[in-house]
């Protein structure tokens, strides 16, 4: 099980961009579609994509680049 969840939705090009960055960084993560989760929909609807570190509940909201992603990971 991964410690990271990427919240997004199908057809979201920004979510696809974020997923690509995470894959390039070699990050192990799960993808959760906010459409299937009422709580996530309420929390992230206008902010997706959002990367969440589940143990700490820290969030990295879009826009972020590879450097900002690495900074986020290194702070955990």
- Per residue in 47-73, pLDDT (tens digit) is 999 999 999 999 999 999 999 999 999
Half-sphere exposure of 29 (CA within 13 A, CB side): 23
- Residue 16 within a domain: no
Its pTM stands at 0.95
* Number of domains composing the chain: 1
- Residue 45 within a domain: yes
Domain span at 67 = 34-76
pLDDT in tens, 13-28: 999 999 999 999 999 9
Q: Is the pLDDT of residue 11 over 90?
A: yes
pLDDT of 65 reads 98
Count of helix runs (H) and strand runs (E) in the chain: 3, 4
- Residue 49 within a domain: yes
- What distance in Å separates the CA atoms of residue 16 and residue 66, rounded to the nearest whole number? 14
Contact 62, 49 (CB under 8 A): yes
CB atoms within 10 A of CB 35: 12
- Residue 66 within a domain: yes
Identify the CATH number of the domain in which residue 64 sits: 3.40.30.10
- Residue 20 within a domain: no
The distance of Cα 46 from the centroid of its chain, to the nearest Å, equals: 13
Residue 2's pLDDT band, with cuts at 50, 70 and 90, is: confident
């Amino acid at each position: 099980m991964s410690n990271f969840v990427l919240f997004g939705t199908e057809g979201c090009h920004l979510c696809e961009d974020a997923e690509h960055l995470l894959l390039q960084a070699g990050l192990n993560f799960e993808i959760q579609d906010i459409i299937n989760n009422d709580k996530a929909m309420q929390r992230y609807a206008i902010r997706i994509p959002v990367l969440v570190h589940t143990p700490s509940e820290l969030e990295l909201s879009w826009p972020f680049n590879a450097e900002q992603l690495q900074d986020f990971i290194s702070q955990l």
